[in-house]
Amino acid sequence: MRVLILLSLLGLAFATEDVFLNFAKEFNKSYKDGKDLISRRAIFMNNYEKMVKHNERYEAGLESWAQKVHEDMDLTSAEWMSKRTGGLPLYDEKTEFVDTLDERIVAKLKEMKGTPREFSWTDSGAVTSVKNQAQCGSCAAFSVIGAVESCFNIQRGKVIDDLSEQHILDCAYNHQVSDESGTWGAFGCDGAWPNAYVDWLMGKNYNQIESAYPYTSGSSGQVGSCKASSNGAYTDAWVTGMYNVWYCKESDMENLVMINPVSTSLQATDNWGGYSHGVMDDRMCCDAATDSSCIYNLNHAILVVGFGHDTASGLDYWLIKNSWGSRWGESGYMKLKRGTGHCGVGSLHQTIPHC
């Protein structure tokens, strides 16, 4: 009601820019007062004008991807980055990690003879529905649960679409794996390494189903105490191993993703908020193939579910399942340029579970 009153009072002033009014209505926006509304409108219009210019370049064949109006279009770049990234614990060039190689997956990789030009687990129904992490830095949890769901579907033939992310956020909180060479951990909404969650699940910690353990951190930005129950446990399949490599080659994901969707990390910039369709070639991103420091700029975990070639742009791409809801991108998915370690994708780690 508050936003409707404010919009009515200021409607005449905004009559020529009703794109903002449409945006506020479509995304059910609420602003604390008229000053806040005017400020958000100015931010929105600046972002909107950038989108229009970008799409003009796209239509002229000068860009490989298009933009669209999105729910965060009234945020500044810094605000968007704070909301949508930061899902990895802090690390730098001094951080050391240790590979964990499940020999069953290693054997499968050795048996593979080349890869096709295009492949996607979405074609066989092995990829589960898109979720929304919202206000919590829980991207690693969503990436891992997506990989585990697909693993169950592929390896066991047990179709399960919605295991609980909140379960591992709460119950695996502060779980760490350490040895003489490396340490990695899971810290709830403050970020996590995907392999820490998989390692925790390997300890016969059965997944919980979403209906029994629903996601709450998206609105609160907090994790809670562990509430796992035997009634909510999914026991038809479980995680028995893990293949996790660090400081890897992007191209290695081609064979790995044909075994199971791959949890990995990348550098998301504020360009990503408005991604609509096409192959993302982000000028703000680093390329790991030519920039050795690129892997130290990563801030977001995603799930790679396939790869292909886009004839319109002439670019190869990775097909990525994100955790920003189904209204983002192409129904929650993105095509990201493949072949240069773009945005650092697949260059720091590649992780899949064995089920």
Residues serving a catalytic function are: 139, 300, 322
Q: Are 342 and 304 in contact (CB under 8 A)?
A: no
Q: Residues for the chain: how many in total?
A: 355
**Tokens 């105490």, residue located:** 225
HEC readout, 61-97: CCCCEEECCCCCCCCCHHHHHHHHCCCCCCCCCCCCC
SS3 category, 246: strand
Give the C-alpha separation, 72 to 92, whole Å. Answer: 29
Largest Cα separation within the chain, whole Å, is: 68
Distances (CA, A) of 73 to 50, 248, 267: 11, 35, 20
* CB 10 within 8 Å of CB 38: yes
What sign does the CA torsion over 235, 241, 244, 250 have?
Answer: negative
Amino acid letter for position 318: W
**326 CB-near residues (< 8 Å, 6+ apart):** 129, 130, 132, 332
**Closest by Cα among 272, 273, 296 to 283:** 272
b vs e for 115-136, b when ≥16 Cβ sit within 10 Å of the residue's Cβ? eeeeebbeeeebbbebbbbbbb
